[in-house]
Amino acid sequence: MATTRILEWLGRFYIVLLLAFLYLPIIIMALMSFNTSPFYQLPFEWTTDWYASLWQNDQLIAATWNSIEIAVITTIISTVLGVMASLALYRYEFRGKKFLQALLFPPIAIPWLITGTAMLIFFFGVGIGRGLVAILLGHVALALPYVIVVVSARLQTFAPELEEAARSLGANQWQVTIRVTLPWIMPGVIAGGLFAFAVSFDQFVVSYFLSTPGQTTLPVEIYAAIRKGFTPEINAVSTIIIVVSMALMLLTARFFKFGGEK
């Protein structure tokens, strides 16, 4: 039918508009980070000076290293703890299991403003205070539920008969886990780990409340810089961040389908 055709093309056109809305600001920001004028004036003149001057900015570089370090440690800890918990939730039936699974949602669902300020109060009260340790404690807690959800989803596709077969052939629990179960759920584990890295690397709110002037992460440093005023340097570093985090998510998508499309 002709109307159906027209409606379908309108639909496609609409998607293009939506994508433009989603990507235009990001693309403009990236372009401006290569523009000579510090006041974003046109005509556009190509330069990489702003990226070069990033290298001179010791504060930003220190914050970047902190971000990377914390994201890597968060990934390792939350992946290990998350895989262990997922295996337990998959293998065993016990009372209160539903409750334990429900407990995973508060860290995801409660606004980070509330979680962040609560952590600040508590860590201060027990003497941990602010700083990188506090940030790490917080990031792992925020990443853990994502890892457990992603790995559990992958475990749903695992046939328990495989573990049983391995056991009946004489493998012990440890060997079964390492040789049979882990290889099968590896795509889920990798996706969970990448998620954890992204959650930590992009985290702003919680880090903001838990950081001190010497011990901050890159997003917190950028926020401080934005509030002082715009500089093309922030464009440059923001462009790098957005490219890194989008690349990470593309990589994650390779290992984990975001629902649908079976």
Partner 1 sequence: MADQLAIGSRRGLRPALPLLLPAYLWLTVAIFLPLSAMVFFSFMTDLPLAGKEWSFTLGNYAAFFSQSLYSKLLLASLRLGLEVTLWCVVIGYPAAYVLAKVLKGRSREAIFLLVILPFWSNGLVRIFSWAMVLREGGILDTALNAVLPFKINIDLMYSYPAVIIGLVHSYVPYMVLTCYLTLQAIDDSLIEAGRSLGASRRQVLWRVIVPLSMPGLIAGSALIFVPVVGSFMEPRILGGRTGTFYGTVIEDQFVAVFNWPLGAALSFILLAVVLIILALAAPVLRRAG
Which residue bears the tokens 């046109």?
42
Quick one: tokens of 21? 């809305």
Residue 169 binding partner 1, by CB under 8 A? no
Residue 155 binding partner 1, by CB under 8 A? no
Residue 239, number of CB atoms within 10 A of its CB: 20
Residue 19 binding partner 1, by CB under 8 A? yes
Q: Which stretch binds partner 1 (CB under 8 A): 50-58, 68-76, 184-192, 228-236?
A: 228-236
112-151: which residues touch partner 1 (CB under 8 A)?
112-115, 117-125, 137-138, 140-141, 144-145, 148
Name the minimum Å distance from CB 4 to partner 1.
9
Task: Find the binder of partner 1 among 222, 236, 255, 256 (CB under 8 A).
Answer: 222
Q: Which stretch binds partner 1 (CB under 8 A): 48-56, 57-65, 183-191, 245-253?
A: 245-253
Name the minimum Å distance from CB 231 to partner 1.
11
DSSP assignment, residue 204? -
Q: How far is CA 192 from each of CA 199, 241, 247, rounded to the nearest angstrom?
A: 10, 20, 15
Please list, in sequence order, all residues whose beta carbon lies within 8 angstroms of the beta carbon of residue 216, skipping any fewer than 6 positions away: 63, 66, 207, 224
Distance CA 162, CA 30 (A): 49
Q: Which stretch binds partner 1 (CB under 8 A): 5-13, 57-65, 68-76, 182-190?
A: 5-13
47-76: which residues touch partner 1 (CB under 8 A)?
none
The C-alpha torsion from 158 through 160 and 161 to 164, rounded to 10°, is 130
Closest by Cα among 100, 99, 139 to 119: 139
Closest by Cα among 187, 182, 154, 151 to 166: 182
Number of residues that bind partner 1 (CB under 8 A): 96
Q: 31 or 62: whose CB is closer to partner 1?
A: 31
Q: Which stretch binds partner 1 (CB under 8 A): 35-43, 51-59, 68-76, 184-192?
A: 35-43
